[in-house]
Structure 1
Amino acid sequence: MIVELVIGTLTIIASMAIMVGFILIVLRLVRNAEDNYADHRLTLWQFFMLLSGTVALVLVTNTICVWLWAGLFRGLGVFATLEEAVYFSMVSFTTVGYGDVVVDQGWRILSGFVAVNGLLAFGIFTAVLIEVIRSLSNRYMPRG
């Protein structure tokens, strides 16, 4: 059990580092957009492209985190195939948890870590998307 706790904690820390990298990239993009459009409003197309780019980065970052967990499960020999490891990681990361693929008793505590990681990720990504929308909408439709 201690080994699972250590591995799960270290994997969440690695996943969080990936998410922090994502946040830094998005903040840089939004700040650059604010600087580039400081003297005029964003067009609808520019607003759409910046927001779409952010959503795409969210999807890429989530995918990287799922693959991180899948790689861990596969590396530990928890699943016989990569497809099983990716499927389980994705279902657990999104907290859907169908239960059609499960881990053996020796590694099941890691399942909870995957779900916690997914909850943290979706909370962070929701906050980032709201901030990006708020920031960009102030450029697209300034008040006053």
Structure 2
Amino acid sequence: MYIQLFIGTLAITSTIVVQVIVMRILAEFYRRHQHWLSTGPEHMRTTIAMILSVLWLVVGITINTWGWAFIFLAIDEFPDIETALYFAISSFTTLGYGDLILSHEWRILGALSAVNGLIVFGLNTAFLLELMIRTWGRRAGM
């Protein structure tokens, strides 16, 4: 049990670091190019900005799910990368079909992966909400 908690804590910490770096890069991009959002056709620029922001945040999620997949491979829970990645995505998104499960020895790690996904998706949601407030709110005089 303790090894699962240790591995899970390292994985959660790593994924949060990755996602915060991804968000920081995006925030810095908008800080440097804020004039672009405030000039020209409002709807087109803010729509493009939100689409690109979501896609950029998905890059972080992708890196994080691959990290979990490699953990599942390293502990020899799945026979190949496709199966490990499928389980990692299913678990990280809290979808959890149940067609694949971890052994009794590693099942806590699967739950920690789901908790991690909730944290990362929550961070992304908060970030996107703040971005919307700042870009659309500025135009509306908020």
TM-score normalised by structure 2 residue count: 0.92
Question: Which residue of the partner structure matches residue 122 of structure 1?
Answer: 121
Q: Is the 8 A contact 1:30 1:132 kept in 2?
A: no
Question: Which residue of the partner structure matches residue 109 of structure 2?
Answer: 110
CA distance in 2, matches of 1:116, 1:127: 17
- Mind listing any 5+ residue stretches in structure 1 that lack a counterpart? none
CA distance in 1, matches of 2:100, 2:37: 49
In structure 2, give the amino acid aligned to 1:28: E
How far residue 35 of structure 1 moved from its aligned partner, in angstroms, is 4.2
Q: How many percent identity over aligned positions?
A: 33
Q: Deviations over 1:36-83 (max 9, x none)?
A: 456x46532221221111100121111111111001111221111111
Report which structure shows greater RCO (CA 8 Å, sep ≥6): 1
TM-score normalised by structure 1 residue count: 0.90
Question: Which residue of the partner structure matches residue 87 of structure 1?
Answer: 86
Cα–Cα, structure 1 residues 90 and 41, in superposed 2: closer, same or farther, change >3 Å?
A: same
Cα–Cα, structure 1 residues 42 and 29, in superposed 2: closer, same or farther, change >3 Å?
A: farther
How far residue 126 of structure 1 moved from its aligned partner, in angstroms, is 0.4
Question: Which residue of the partner structure matches residue 20 of structure 2?
Answer: 20
Q: Is the 8 A contact 1:94 1:115 kept in 2?
A: yes
CA RMSD of aligned residues (A): 1.7
- Equivalences for 1:1-144 in 2 at 5 Å? 1-36=1-36, 40=39, 43-139=42-138, 141-143=139-141
- Matched position secondary structure for 2:140: coil
CA distance in 1, matches of 2:104, 2:41: 54
The alignment covers a number of residue pairs equal to 142
In structure 1, give the amino acid aligned to 2:79: A
